[in-house]
């Protein structure tokens, strides 16, 4: 059960606490025993909300945590997550205030493309830039 993150996020509601939780969770993802470790399924639903972080500083940490998740989890988990996060990553990440967040957003998009095919990500990018 994702106790550390939920404690910080649900009870403290402070952007600094969420930032610390994202950083701690990134470390946990990186030291997971295998790409199919239970930690990736334990946080599957939680990770979907990372791109929606409202605070600019915590948002950068959230995107970094998402990168750690995608780099360390099994590709099948990433493929299941991709349709649920791509739109939010593009909308929130590419329009972020911080340059570091925008750069990390491109890294997330590249990881999502490298899972198997580029079409789902390219379709969302096209829609985003068409509406801009």
Rounded to an integer, the average pLDDT of 112-125 is: 95
Is residue 79 within 8 A of residue 116, CB to CB? The reply is yes
106 has pLDDT over 90: yes
Going by pLDDT thresholds of 50, 70 and 90, the confidence category of residue 1 is very low
Give the C-alpha distances (Å, rounded to integers) separating 60 from 4, 69, 76, 77.
Answer: 19, 14, 25, 22
C-alpha 40/C-alpha 115 separation (Å) is: 16
pLDDT of residue 17: 86
- Give per-residue pLDDT as tens, 40-63: 999 999 999 999 999 999 999 999
C-alpha 65/C-alpha 52 separation (Å) is: 13
pLDDT of residue 101: 97
Of all residues in the chain, what percent carry a pLDDT higher than 70? 90
Of all residues in the chain, what percent carry a pLDDT higher than 90? 83
- Give per-residue pLDDT as tens, 10-27: 455 788 888 999 999 999
H helix intervals, 37-98: 38-42, 44-47, 56-72, 75-88
pLDDT of residue 56: 94
pLDDT of residue 31: 96
């Amino acid at each position: 059960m994702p106790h550390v993150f939920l404690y910080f996020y649900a009870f403290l509601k402070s952007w600094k606490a969420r930032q610390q939780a994202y950083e701690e969770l990134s470390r946990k993802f990186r030291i997971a025993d295998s790409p199919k470790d239970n930690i990736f399924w334990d946080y599957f639903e939680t990770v979907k909300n990372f791109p929606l972080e409202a605070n600019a500083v915590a948002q950068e940490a959230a995107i970094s945590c998402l990168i750690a998740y995608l780099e360390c989890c099994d590709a099948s988990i990433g493929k299941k997550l991709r349709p649920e996060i791509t739109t939010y990553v593009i909308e929130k990440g590419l329009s972020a205030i911080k340059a570091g967040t925008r750069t990390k957003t491109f890294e997330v998009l590249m990881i999502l493309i490298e899972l198997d095919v580029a079409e789902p990500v390219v379709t969302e990018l096209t829609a985003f830039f068409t509406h801009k």
